[in-house]
Amino acid sequence: MRRSIIVSMLWLLFLSTMLHAQTLPDSSQLTSLNKFWQEHPDWYVCWDKVTGTPASMYGTKTKSFGKTPESAIQNFLMYVNKLFERKNNSKADQVKSNLQKPNLSFISQRNSINGNYYDYQQEYKNIPINGTQCTFGVTENGEIFYFSGTFYSEQIDINITPNVSFESAITTAASNIGKIGFVQKNKKLCILPNDGKFELVWDFYLVNNQNGESWKYIVSASSGKIISKNDTKIKSANDYNLTNGFSFQNPKTELLLNYQTPQGFIFNTYPQSSSLDFETSQVELPLLNSSGYLQGTYANVYKMSGIRATYIGGDPNNFVHSPYTQDFDEVNVYYHITKLRQNFINSFYTPGFNQINVSIGWDKSQRDAAYDPGADVIYFYNGVPTDPNFSREANVIYHEYIHKIQFDRNCYYDNGSSTNEYKGVLEGLSDYFAYSYSGVPNILTYALPSQARSINNHSTYSSTLGIYPFGQLFSHILSHLQNISGFQSVLFAQMNSFNSYNSAFLSFRDRLINGFQEPSTKNTIQNTFADHGVGDYADNPPSPPTNISISGSYGSNPTIQWTPPNDPDINHYKIYRKKYNEGSFTLVGLTSGLSFTDYYVTVQYDFLEDDIFYYVKTVDNNGNLSSESDYVNVLDIWASLKIENVGEKENLSVASEEVNSTALSISNYPNPFNPVTTISFSVPEESNILIRVHNVLGQELDRIYDGKVLPGNHKTIWDGSKYSSGLYYVTNK
């Protein structure tokens, strides 16, 4: 009784959520739907009742919309354009009717038994529109059989040149956090659909590598205001106390979806996704024992109550079944488990799996499908005979059987330490393997449409997701990797004893990476996860060293020192050098330490001979090279020793006469200065003097004095306000 009360309360919560702020099709959209259904009467539309647009559409293949996949997709979107008009955009200034082909950028392609799936990103002038990745199912003849994702049909007309630099956006976000120690990651310039309008924004993360704190920011590239800030640090989540099954969870994490046909919001009496032949009363069921029941090598299927289904006339290959009897449920479940094992799972791994008991029931008030590891039983409950859809969806059967395999392979879903993210990984694996076998990207379409999931649903990682949204994201990531040679086998093998409850996405990603030898495959896996907000990109170069300094003294060899970056896989460093008379830098040293002494250079206190630049690069374990560090110059040693007479060891040409340069001196005060300093110099006799200011690259910035002076002491002013802070050199000639 207590359980029934809880279920009723959850239903009320769910219904109240469904009734809040729903946006159903308006007359214009219904007109467009009816036009579409006249030609394609068997298509279903999954309606997102928050945005008031389709979340997915699918059915038998349409007419051909083009000779190439891209043209077919664009023409299809133009054909159903009216379905995607958002009512909340009607007041937006920049929204106009868009009858042109949409701007789509190709992401990836996957093959399936139905045709090919193509992933596209919607863009405006080559800038991605946030959250608009779409998946299309297209045959080789240009016929469409599937769509899912988010698409904007409105014509966008905004300025794509940022008024606010990315550096300014970073400064704003860092000030908002109010703490130091954060680094920026994964920045992108994109267009954000925001409150009925479109806005150019900076999208990035600020991460503290020391404590794992992570914040995702979206900052307006027009005004510089923070639009959103989300805590993305991985945390342990509360256990939902669910058992590997589908049940109602907190409605805040659910998609508000419903399914439509030309006849209205209805569901099939039994799912088309079941591969049983519904036109006959018989189906072949191999591998039965002599009991007369559906008890074979892989499954023992029985009812909670009533007489078990038996085969016809002693022939163990044929059973009577009807879509409206529990015998059908027994036959349906047995058939799918047997076929999944024979035709799919056994190609990866055969030993170690026990026969599974499957319980079929119609006597529960709650529709339910779950694997109970304690009893080693999969339960399928349909609710009442008038609503017998739940256990008949093939993907649900496959999903629950994969949970049984996970338990047999020592993955403990209900361990007391299990987090929502860990459970989401197991849910995603079950969804993915169900899809891999059936080719159907959706699950719970018929059984529980309020919680329907699609492997093609695009989303991004957040630590606050619920179990099933975690699962939907994980299965979607895996779908992008399915064309890797041997991927299914490696994926299946990596389920063995997977019990990384914290950071489960990253832990399983690392398992997959370690399952392959080819570096390019490893990078593909890591980058695919990173595309969805999980971890860093594999091809990101390491960071350069910091705090570069140079030291030495007259007659010694210069030593360059640095601080290592925070990258975890540093292998060594490369040191580059360029002398004043050389056109480019040359690699002069390798070291795994944090300093390098150049024994081929001697500090001479000579302006030309000591004009030697160095920089350092980091090399990681994959051979990736960082960008250049800051430059240092042997002349910096002079500054550190406060040497003022830059002509001490050279003969200066003064008025075409040989002059002892030790009689010529130059200095400045104050030093350091901001922004004005007084430069003093003295000459022993009337001379032509040229005093110049150079940057650390040796480039001339200003001529402070150029002319004849009398013997004695002289002063002049240099204003450096138009230059950035740094080290500058004053030279005389």
The string of DSSP letters for 410-475 reads T--TT-TT--HHHHHHHHHHHHHHHHHHH---EESTTT-GGG-EETT------TT--HHHHHHHHH
Q: Among 120-129, 345-354, 429-438, 503-512, which is the least confidently predicted range? A: 345-354
Q: For 697-722, b where at least 16 C-beta lie within 10 A, e where not — what string? A: eeeeeeebeeeebeeeebeeebebee
CB 154 within 8 A of CB 88: no
Residue 670: per-residue pLDDT: 61
Residue spans of the domains in the chain: they are 20-149, 166-231, 271-516, 546-639, 644-732
Burial-class residue 299 by CB neighbours within 10 Å (0-12, 13-18, 19+).
Answer: buried
**Preceding omega of 542 cis (within 30 degrees of 0):** no
Q: What is the pTM of this model?
A: 0.43
Q: Is residue 648 scored above 60 in pLDDT?
A: no
Residue 242: per-residue pLDDT: 30
Residue 268: per-residue pLDDT: 31
CB 427 within 8 A of CB 411: no
Residues 411 and 655: their CA atoms lie apart, in Å, by 88
Q: What is the mean pLDDT of residues 287-301?
A: 71
- pLDDT category of residue 615 using cuts at 50, 70 and 90: very high
Rounded to 10 degrees, the C-alpha dihedral 443/445/446/447 comes to 50
Residue 534: per-residue pLDDT: 92
Residue 280: per-residue pLDDT: 37
What is the side-by-side strand order in the sheet with 632-633? 586-591, 570-579, 612-620, 632-633
Residue 718: per-residue pLDDT: 77
Residues 303 and 311: their CA atoms lie apart, in Å, by 15
Rg (CA), the chain: 35
10 Å Cβ neighbour count for 191?
23
Q: What residue type is 552 in one-letter code?
A: G
- pLDDT category of residue 539 using cuts at 50, 70 and 90: low
Residues 3 and 15: their CA atoms lie apart, in Å, by 18
Q: Which residue has the tokens 């024979």?
A: 342
- pLDDT category of residue 17 using cuts at 50, 70 and 90: very low
pLDDT tens for each residue of 236-280 = 223 323 333 333 222 223 333 344 444 443 223 334 444 444 333
Chain-centre distance for alpha carbon 671: 49
pLDDT tens for each residue of 226-235 = 998 877 653 3
Rounded to 10 degrees, the C-alpha dihedral 620/624/630/632 comes to 80
CB 275 within 8 A of CB 332: no
Q: Which of 346-355, 442-451, 510-519 has the highest mean pLDDT?
A: 510-519
Which CATH homologous superfamily contains domain 546-639?
Immunoglobulins (2.60.40.10)
Q: Among 47-51, 303-307, 515-519, 665-669, which is the least confidently predicted range? A: 665-669
Residues 473 and 455: their CA atoms lie apart, in Å, by 8
Q: What is the mean pLDDT of residues 46-60?
A: 73
The two tokens of residue 171 are 């400064």
CATH topology of domain 166-231: Nuclear Transport Factor 2; Chain: A, (3.10.450)
Q: Is residue 566 scored above 80 in pLDDT?
A: yes
Residue 325: per-residue pLDDT: 62
- pLDDT category of residue 326 using cuts at 50, 70 and 90: low
570-579/44-48 β-pairing:
unpaired
pLDDT tens for each residue of 679-722 = 777 777 777 888 888 776 677 888 877 777 777 777 777 777 77
10 Å Cβ neighbour count for 568?
9
Residue 491: per-residue pLDDT: 92
- pLDDT category of residue 324 using cuts at 50, 70 and 90: low
3-class DSSP string for 254-288: CCCEEEEECCECCCCCCCCCCCCCCCCCCCECCCE
- Between 484 and 699, the more confident residue is 484
Residue 694: per-residue pLDDT: 77
Residues 501 and 137: their CA atoms lie apart, in Å, by 35
CATH number of 644-732: 2.60.40
**Per-residue CA distances from 72 to 81, 119, 310, 481 (Å):** 14, 13, 49, 25
HSE of 516, CA atoms in CB hemisphere, 13 A: 22
Residue 426: per-residue pLDDT: 95
Residues 79 and 96: their CA atoms lie apart, in Å, by 17
Q: What percent of the chain clears pLDDT 90, i.e. is strictly above it?
A: 17
Residue 226: per-residue pLDDT: 92
Residues 514 and 493: their CA atoms lie apart, in Å, by 11
Residues 589 and 575: their CA atoms lie apart, in Å, by 5
Q: What residue type is 296 in one-letter code?
A: G
Angle, helix 504-514 to helix 420-438, in steps of 10 degrees:
50
CATH fold match for the domains 546-639 and 644-732: yes
Residue 561: per-residue pLDDT: 95
Residue 317: per-residue pLDDT: 59
The two tokens of residue 460 are 């991004």
CATH topology of domain 271-516: Neutral Protease; domain 2 (1.10.390)
pLDDT tens for each residue of 101-144 = 788 888 877 665 557 778 888 898 889 998 787 888 898 899 99
